[in-house]
Each structure stands twice: as structure tokens, then as C-alpha cells.
Amino acid sequence: MNKILQSLEDPERPFLGPNYWIIQSVGLLLPQSLLSKIIYILIHEIVAFFVITQYMELYVIRSDLDLVLTNMKISMLSVVCIVKVNSFIFWQKYWREVLDYVTEADKFERLSGDPIKTMIVDTYTKYCRRLSYFYWAIVFTTFWTTTGTPLMTYLSSFTFRENMRNGTEPFPHIFSSWMPFDKYHSPGCWITVVWHVLLCAYGAAVMAAYDTCIVVIMVFFGGKLDLLRERCKQMFGAFGTVISDKECKEVVRELHDIHVTMLKYSRLFNSLLSPVMFFYMVMCSLMLCASAYQLTSAQNAAQKLLMAEYLVFGVAQLFVFCWHSNDVLIKSENMTLGPFESNWYTASYQQKRDVLTLSGQLHINNMFTAGPFANLTLPTFINILKGAYSYYTLLRK
């Protein structure tokens, strides 16, 4: 396993290696070859059409609440997946700019040679590796849970098996979607099963690629803020060191440029992420509500276990975004302490004025949003859970 994970590392991208590999593999970053590019886009749009067929089926089964909730629980996640893919492709140029900035800024920090900065870089790199692999494991588990739900339902319920034999229970499928043939009898039922498994694998790969890419970029911006704070601490050197006004201006100018550049790409990143997160927040409340309702209404332990895993994945997915975005906001607010943690009190009058100027620049907060109405923070996460619980209570009544 270590050899496999090591093969994902890229010397050209010491921070983004595994994440860059997976977004290329699933086609979020399109290849240079025209033929390969067309094939990837075609695959993405075929899956988008499949999501449309899920909502076509939703109209057909509208009279059965349990089937409607099952359809909505998965189809809403499918819509979010398609929005992520198409937004990434549509804004491909800007995503490449963000990824290139992260790579170059990370390389710049790795060349500093300062032991404290090196420790910060190593810490956020190791954290992102563990987070990425752990998230991939959760997505892989959810993939097997989703694809195995019909089989577990069949194996865990004697009544269900008997109803299938006498024809009162239809053939169970992974997704509820329209098909142009009879999907409840052989060979159409098995063609549908294979089709659904492939689509589920695609969706899992896209979520693993997109979500971890987003989160590690958030972690990088948090690490960059820590590094900038450390640079501010060291702006006057060690205690007892005296620097000239000219040297101080050069240091302040460099720190100012680093912060301005970071804000530029942080805001570009937020402009790409914010519309997707707003759409995801809206869908997530309904998805969590449907999952919770099905969990409490499941008939046996196996079904409850599968529903619980899906619910945990939905909550974990939302929590990961909100937690790391909130962490960046806190570090952005704390970064303003950096200049005043230096030896500013030994500086000259002109140098103290430069410190105040820099401090004013650093007061600009770095915040990620979910559309124009909500910030991507822990209070927002709690409000979404409250909203999902309110919808759940309404359904129970």
C-alpha cells in the first residue's frame, strides 16, 4: 500500500501530487489531446443525461413516498456531482491558475530553509495526505454501501425474497432511473445493474477527486497564513538585531506582496467554489432529511446500517468543507498579530509606521462563502443540520 501511495507523489507538485493525479484521472482537468478531451466531455455529459432520467423516474413513482425518498436521496447527490464536474470544466482556465499558484507558492515556502517554516509546510502536507486518503476510503465505502444496498435487502429479508419469487416485489436496483427497456426482468435487469454500478463508480471517483482537491487547497491557504504570520514575526530578525529603514521597507513590501497575491487567488478560488457550495448547501438539507427518515423507517438491522453509513457520509462531507473553511477564517484573523509578535518595539519611528501600514493590510479577512447568502463556517454547518432536522420532523408528522 505504501508503494502504491508513493507512486502518486509528483516531484513537480510536492504538495498537490495525489490530488492532481486523481483530478486528471477522472477528467476534471482535461488532457491536451483533442480526442481525449472530447471523450472525457462526452462521458461527463452522458452521466448528466442519466441524472435527467432519474428525475423522469421520480415523476413515475411520485405516489410512493418511500421510493420518492430513495430516489431523491441519491438523485440530489447526483445533481451536485454533475454541477461540480461541469463547473470545473467550464472554468477550467481559472482552476488551472489556482492550482499553479498553489504549486508555485508551496515550492517557494519549501526553499526558505527556515526550520519553523519547514515544520509548518511538512505539517500541512502530511495532514492533507492523511485527510485525502481517509476521505477516499469513506467514498469507497459509500460506493460499496450504495451498490450493495439492493443485495443486502434481498439477503436480509425472507419476506422480500418470497415476494420477488411470486412477482409481488420488483427487481431491486441501485438507482431509480428511467431505462428504454424492461429493467425488472432478464436481461434488462442485469444490463441496468451493470450500468448503475459504472455510474456509481464514476460519481464516487468525481466526489473523491473534487472534494479532496477543494479541501487541500483550503488547508494550503490556512498554512500560507501561518507562514505569513511567521514571516511577520521575523521581520526585524532576532532580538538585538538592528535593520535600516530601507531594509524594513523591503521586508514590508515583500510581506505585502505575498498577502496581496494570496488574497487574489483566494478570491478567485472562492468565486469558483461559492456557486457550487451554495447549490450543495440547498441540496444537502433535503438529502440529509431523506436519509434520516429512511433510517428511522428501515425494517431490519442491515438496512439501518446501510442508511446510517450513507447519512454519516453526507454529514462528514459537509463538515469537512465547513471545518476547514472556518479554520482559514480563524487563521486569517489571528495573522494580524504577526507584526506585533516581532521586535517592533526596538524599531525606529519610520519602521513602526511601516508595521502599522502592514497591519492594516493584514486586517483584510480571508473568507470562503456558499453563494451570496452564507459563509462557509461551522455556524452554517449547524444551521443546515437544524434545517434538515426540521424537514425530517415535518415528514414524520
Overall pTM surpassing 0.85 (yes/no) = yes
C-alpha cell read off for 5: 501511495
pLDDT at 267: 93
Per-residue pLDDT band for 240 (boundaries 50, 70, 90) equals: low
Taking the CB of residue 290, how many other CB atoms lie within 10 A of it?
26
Q: Are 386 and 280 in contact (CB under 8 A)?
A: no
Give the model confidence (pLDDT) of 278-336 as tens digits.
888 887 777 777 777 777 766 666 667 767 767 787 788 888 899 999 999 999 988 88
Distance CA 306, CA 146 (A): 8
Q: Which residues contact 324 (CB under 8 A, 6 or more apart)?
A: 215, 218, 219, 222
Domain count within the chain: 1
147 lies in a domain? yes
Min mean pLDDT across 43-57, 134-148, 190-204, 304-318 is at 304-318
Cell numbers given for 63? 405516489
pLDDT of residue 102: 94
Average pLDDT over residues 223-237: 88
Q: Average pLDDT of the chain?
A: 85
* 13 in a structural domain: no
| pLDDT at res. 105 | 92
What are the tens digits of pLDDT across the range 104-133?
Answer: 999 998 888 888 889 999 999 999 999 999
- The boundaries of the domain holding residue 243 are 4-8+18-396
- Give 236's pLDDT tier (boundaries 50, 70, 90): confident
